[in-house]
Chain A
């Protein structure tokens, strides 16, 4: 344990697993990013049913 303890000091402080466990604060989102994220939500709402449809369509093809 001791022979490695000195090595640990070589690392940048935030390299340590314990320190990187603390969450970062939420980002303050600008109007532009908020709009972008809402567009992304709409995209996701459209994309997810397509994926589900694709799976069931492929299931039918396989039968």
Chain B
């Protein structure tokens, strides 16, 4: 307030408000400039390379330690047969769900947690965030268990393996640049395809793979309790709540616009394809265990599987398998910790971007780093109830998948915010059917895990 010299009255000094772009704006603008140049130069492949990221990361991130072990158990129990095409179907379902998050992110410029909070109120906002964060922290623990197990195959001590894993997660976060973080994670995530050469060492019969894809058979031993459990576990290994939250927030953080939707879809489709190939390769790599009647119930971790496979796929194949398990845990640790940080910061109205500097994004970075550190420390702790955590993770993810999926469908149909990007009847029919199916199968899996007696032997 200044005093007016003539009247003596206090007057307000009007300072013109000048918009100062934040670091987040500037970094994103740099990325967008390169995208615009590629688009103007009509270089579609280069454009795709620039815009790809969230979809591939989310799909390969979901091929995490526990998921790969789930596929390995499938291969060891059933070999090449029904589950090869079934895995393709589950990734097709994942694509349909994840494609909606691309459109929601582009249309609203908001993350999933933030959008639920704004549109459906604090109860559902906090519920979604707390549910996600608890599930994610427990899942992170299983990722570090996978890193430890894979490293143990090479004789690397747990402390070293976990410290290096944690360091990689923290170094990626410390770049304070979405694009760098994403490229770093993308390069690592391609390691998921290590399961492909591992599968080749198993010398699979291409005719058997094609026959399985065409006929959805054989189902060794017929439909029984193990078959149903593995079917449900494979669905649980393909679509989980963190994927929805992560991809929508990453699409926003990357700054994708309406023009980028085709590339966003392609990115998600490529991710689903790569992930399905890696998952099927894992089933194939473990088929020798089925052929030689190795009891899969004895095998629980990455080291067990790699050691059991060594006589059949050789040292190189087993080493690739163990490396793949380490990679699966590592990439998932990066994406899941970031997904928690996005959801927490969105609901708490703090800055939520990997382009933020440490001072303005401190809650975001602290949450991402803190959850990873906590998970790694718990895995190192001799008294941590790791078995209980591993078993509970599946139950949380599957039982609480229904609310997450329902909100995706409700938001994708919210024409006030989605306008012409809202779901049309075809996507509603496909999305609705998939959501009902995943929710029912997920809930069934959760209940059967809790009450195994529900399933007839």
Contact = CB atoms under 8 A, between A and B. Distances in A.
Interface of A: 1, 4-5, 7-8, 10-12, 14-18, 20-21, 23-27, 29, 33, 36-37, 40, 43-44, 47, 50-51, 53-59, 61-62
Q: Is the interface of B mostly helix, strand, loop or mixed?
A: helix
Contacts of B109: 14-15, 20
B399 A11 contact: no
B353 interface: yes
Interface of B: 19, 21-22, 24-26, 28-30, 32-33, 36, 108-110, 115, 117-121, 124, 127, 252, 255, 257, 349, 351, 353, 385-392, 395-396, 399-400, 402-403, 406, 410, 414, 416-417, 446-447, 449-450
A10 B395 contact: no
Nearest to B34: A7
A16 B442 CA distance: 38
A3 to B, nearest CB: 10
A36 B406 contact: yes
B224 to A, nearest CB: 23
Contacts of A50: 395, 399, 446-447, 450
A10 B29 CA distance: 7
A38 to B, nearest CB: 12
Contacts, number: 121
Contacts of A43: 402-403
**Among the interface residues A5, A21, A43, A51, which one has the most CB atoms of the partner chain B within 10 A?**
A51
Contact of B257 (A5, A12, A25): A12
Contact of B127 (A7, A11, A23, A44): A44
Contacts of A8: 21, 25-26, 29
Nearest to B407: A40
Contacts of A1: 26
A54 B392 contact: yes
